[in-house]
Amino acid sequence: MSSELRAVTPQSILQARERIAPFIRHTPLEPSAALSARTGGRVFLKLECLQVTGSFKPRISFNKLLSVDASTRARGVVASTAGGHGIGLAHAGRRLGVPVELFLPHTADARKVEVMRRDGARLHFHDSVPAAREAARAHAREHQRLFVSAYNDPDIIAGGGTVGLEVLDDLPEVDLAVVGIGGGGLISGMGVAMKARNPRMQLWGVQPEVSPVLAGWMRHGRPVPVESRQSIADGLGAQPEPDTLTLPLACEYVDRVLLVSEEDLRDAMAWLLEEHQLVVEPSGAATVAALLRHPPEGFRHIAVVITGRNISRARYVQLLGERLTATPT
């Protein structure tokens, strides 16, 4: 096991929790009567959509920025993002006085772009997520600034693991946690944190059917070619680096990966609005989409992570269309 993998430990996640505590919220674990009725177990929604900035991302951003020395922070940081990572990093940078430059695709959600700009980040736009990432890395090298990955970093993974610690605080008997997978940082960190306390619990991941890169790699135990198209769940559409730290961690800690269709994602967004009065972006609704399509059996205490709510009104209405006025079934 590499030294970087060994750096992601239950202790490093506890340290991350203490480090970021002044800047983030302990988010609610809300019971879902409707999902409980479907599964036969007690289902709870971990509402990271109610985190500061509207997603779990500030956990990872604050942990990374607070883990590096003051001179590194003073030079500023660089990242590529489809939106959510940039919002978290821009917010953390503003709170800590760290200059932030973000590289995005032109297709990034308009509201996410406005939030990043409002928090003082300098924005650069490119034709695609891969092009933005390549440009961000080149810019960081040229200007000797820290590149902050959304997932491929021990400090980032540890920050995500703090979500798992909160679930254990509020539901110590949890026997299944369901988490969306993009680059795999959140689910890897949660796996390290939660299975240290309860090795018998299960951890299920969710990816879009059209963009199942990490799921395909996990199935083979190594990076392999995986056909991938753009999903409406842009936060789950990562194209990970072949050497990402999250692959071996996910192979070790994740018990199953469920795939959901684009229509499943839209249905789950509408379901969350109807049943829980929550406006959630497609990536945040993926876990509920998975439970609606594949109700788990044999579990008594289920935690479902709702990762984010950052979506413009126009895009929300465009994605849901007639679902907003249809009679619930």
What's the pLDDT tens digit per position in 174-216?
Answer: 999 999 999 999 999 999 999 999 999 999 999 999 999 999 9
Backbone angles phi, psi at 54, to 5 degrees: 85, 15
pLDDT greater than 70 at residue 329: no
Closest CA to 273 of 234, 303, 309, 242: 309
The mean pLDDT value for 249-269 works out to 98
Mean pLDDT over 255-276 rounds to: 97
* pLDDT of 144 higher than 60: yes
Query: By percentage, how much of the chain surpasses pLDDT 70?
Result: 98
Work out the average pLDDT over 104-128: 93
Q: What is the DSSP string of 4-72?
A: HHHT--HHHHHHHHHHHTTTS----EEE-HHHHHHHSSEEEEEEGGGSGGGBSHHHHHHHHHHHS-HHH
List CB contacts of 230: < 8 A, sequence separation 6 or more.
107, 210, 211, 237
pLDDT tops 90 at residue 326: no
pLDDT, tens digit (0-9, with 9 covering 90-100), for 210-229: 999 999 999 999 999 999 99
Distance CA 303, CA 174 (A): 7
**pLDDT the model gives residue 6:** 63
**Distances from the Cα of 20 to the Cα of 14, 23, 202, angstroms:** 10, 6, 27
Region 44-61: mean pLDDT is: 98
Structure tokens at 89: 């990093």
Strands of the chain, DSSP E: 29-31, 42-47, 77-80, 100-105, 122-126, 146-147, 176-180, 202-208, 256-260, 301-306
Provide CB contacts within 8 A for 15, sequence distance 6+: 158
Spatial CA neighbour of 60 closest among 81, 85, 77, 25: 85
- pLDDT at residue 111, as a whole number: 87
Confidence class for position 237, pLDDT limits 50, 70, 90: confident
Whether the predicted pLDDT of 300 surpasses 60: yes
- Is pLDDT at 293 greater than 80 in this prediction? yes
- Look at residues 139, 156, 61, 53 and name the one whose alpha carbon lies nearest to residue 103: 139
- The region that residue 120 occupies, defined by phi over 0 for left and psi between -120 and 50 for alpha, beta otherwise, is left
For residue 122, what pLDDT is reported? Answer: 97
Cβ proximity of 258 and 205 under 8 Å:
yes
Q: Taking Cα atoms as reference points, which of 52, 45, 44 lies closest to residue 84?
A: 52
Average pLDDT over residues 16-33: 98
Q: CA-CA distance, 304 to 275, in Å (whole number)?
A: 15
Looking at residues 113-124, what average pLDDT do you find? 96
Q: What is the mean pLDDT of the chain?
A: 95
DSSP state of 198: -
- Strand partners of residue 179: 205
Q: What is the mean pLDDT of the segment spanning 277-298?
A: 96
